[in-house]
Amino acid sequence: MKKILTASAAALAAVIALSGCSTSPDAGSMEGMDHGSSAMSTTQPPAIGANHNAADTMFAQMMLPHHSQAVEMSDIMLAKPSLDAKIIALAKDIKTAQAPEISTMTNYLSAWGESTAMTGDHSMAGMMTSADLDKLKAAQGTEAAKLFLTQMTAHHKGALEMAKTEVADGKNADAVTLAKSIVSSQEAEINDMKELLAAL
């Protein structure tokens, strides 16, 4: 009788664990998503695909190279001598904010079972061309500062478009929260950059 009760309790615990996969507040993370998946199926667990939609995937896939370019542009500026301290601080702030977000979005895509690379041809607003980056690399002093502020403002506006689309169309709560944070922080940085540009 004791063995039967133990087995029943174990079965009940397994059912509770499995049902918790779809209702857990951590459904957006890897934790709590795998319970019993190997026993049920060798294919992708439904929980991974159930907590995001195409808009979430597109947001992360497009924002990764977009953020990476912002970090690259900041690195270009930080390598230049004799820059205004405010420009240096801005470039460092952009790196500090966007580098961790790159890691976060990469983790999202991994958890969703999605590739980090986009399929098809998708244009991203605000992206600089190779020629744009070459101009930034060649520029020095005040010219470099003005070019950086102009380019980064356009770059941020492109990010705002993608983030606002995610807020409107996304399903994954974590991704939508990140998008809202990007909108808030980059709108503030755009205002700061306009003031810096006007002062040069």
Cα pseudo-dihedral 30, 35, 36, 37, rounded to 10: -20
Residue-wise pLDDT tens digits, 137-182: 999 999 999 999 999 999 999 999 999 999 999 999 999 999 999 9
Is there a contact between 195 and 163 (Cβ–Cβ < 8 Å)? no
Query: How many other CB atoms are there within 10 angstroms of residue 102's CB atom?
Result: 19
- What predicted TM-score, i.e. pTM, was given to this entire model? 0.72
Residue-wise pLDDT tens digits, 170-200: 999 999 999 999 999 999 999 999 999 999 9
d(CA 195, CA 200): 9
Token pair recorded at residue 165: 């689309």
Residue-wise pLDDT tens digits, 5-64: 444 444 434 433 334 444 444 444 444 444 443 333 344 433 445 599 999 999 999 999
Is there a contact between 109 and 60 (Cβ–Cβ < 8 Å)? yes
pLDDT reported for residue 121: 65
d(CA 109, CA 96): 21
3-state secondary structure the chain: CHHHHHHHHHHHHHHHHHHHHHHCCCCCCCCCCCCCHHHHCCCCCHHHHHCCCHHHHHHHHHHHHHHHHHHHHHHHHHCCCCCCHHHHHHHHHHHHHHHHHHHHHHHHHHHHCCCCCCCCCCCCCCCCCHHHHHHHHHCCHHHHHHHHHHHHHHHHHHHHHHHHHHHHHCCCHHHHHHHHHHHHHHHHHHHHHHHHHHHC
Give helix 173-199 / helix 85-112 axis angle, nearest 10°: 160
**Is it the case that residue 75 has pLDDT exceeding 80?**
yes
